[in-house]
Chain A
Amino acid sequence: DIQMTQSPSSLSASVGDRVTITCQASQDISNYLNWYQQKPGKAPKLLIYDASNLETGVPSRFSGSGSGTDFTFTISSLQPEDIATYYCQQYDNLRTFGPGTKVDIK
């Protein structure tokens, strides 16, 4: 089974700050990684697929990078509406979600 870890588990940042979340896979998953945003009481929303491709309609302040075992998700300028939990998910072998990173406004 492929295990996913994320860091940090939570963070607080100011509006306009650059926010970075890392995701690590227990084995090489190439680019087979997606990122989702989940707001309280809502279903997850796809933001980034195949490690670095922005889903249609998603603001360009969101981006992703990485390959192999180490991946990064970035919000270039944090906005109040970005308060949410962010999950990475691998699809190299079955599907596994990371534990999530909760993002708050400081």
Chain B
Amino acid sequence: QVQLQESGPGLVKPSGTLSLTCAVSGGSISSSNWWSWVRQPPGKGLEWIGEIYHSGSTNYNPSLKSRVTISVDKSKNQFSLKLSSVTAADTAVYYCARESAVAEIYYMDVWGKGTTVTVSS
């Protein structure tokens, strides 16, 4: 079965760039799914960041779009998140998720365990 594993620095300096990778195992990133990033600030709810298809097509949350880049590396079966100009408000647990697509139905059915990123000097 498909498993996802986030990795990346746990501490990022203010104004820097947050970079995370999600490794996909047990399945191909080139399957008919979208691959998403979701974050959760401490004690708060879930926020969708954006998603990518293996073709490279992306969709982003408008509130983050100017700072977010999601990319895919099919050779490594992984996808990545870059968030620039970070502030303390970007401190959160970051999850990657597979979004399955069946006809016009989409749902995030496989999730990574999440990785905590703290923005601090």
CB-nearest residue of chain B relative to A4? B45
Contact A43 B114 (CB under 8 A): yes
Interface membership of chain A positions 81-106, coded 1 if the CB is closer than 8 angstroms to chain B and 0 otherwise: 00001010101001111111000000
* CA gap between A44 and B36 in the complex, in Å: 13
* CA gap between A91 and B101 in the complex, in Å: 11
Contact B95 A44 (CB under 8 A): yes
Contact B114 A46 (CB under 8 A): no
Size bracket of the B interface: 20 to 34
Contact A43 B111 (CB under 8 A): yes
Taking CB atoms, residues of chain B closer than 8 Å to A99 are: 45
The prevalent SS among residues of B at the interface is strand
Taking CB atoms, residues of chain B closer than 8 Å to A44 are: 38, 46, 95, 108, 111
A45 within 8 A of B: yes
Contact B59 A94 (CB under 8 A): yes
Taking CB atoms, residues of chain A closer than 8 Å to B36 are: 95
* CA gap between A87 and B108 in the complex, in Å: 12
Interface membership of chain B positions 86-121, coded 1 if the CB is closer than 8 angstroms to chain A and 0 otherwise: 000000000100000000111111011110000000
Contact A34 B62 (CB under 8 A): no
B7 within 8 A of A: no
Taking CB atoms, residues of chain B closer than 8 Å to A87 are: 45-46
Contact A95 B48 (CB under 8 A): yes
Contact among A36, A50, A96, A100 with B105 in the assembled complex (CB-CB below 8 Å): A50
A28 within 8 A of B: no
* CA gap between A38 and B46 in the complex, in Å: 10
- Once A43-B114, A45-B111 are accepted as A-B contacts, the answer to whether A95 and B51 lie under 8 Å apart by CB is yes
A-B contact pairs, 5 of them (CB 8 A): A44-B95, A46-B109, A87-B45, A97-B38, A100-B46
Measuring CB to CB, which residues of chain A are less than 8 angstroms from any residue of chain B?
1, 32, 34, 36, 38, 42-46, 49-50, 53, 55, 85, 87, 89, 91, 94-100
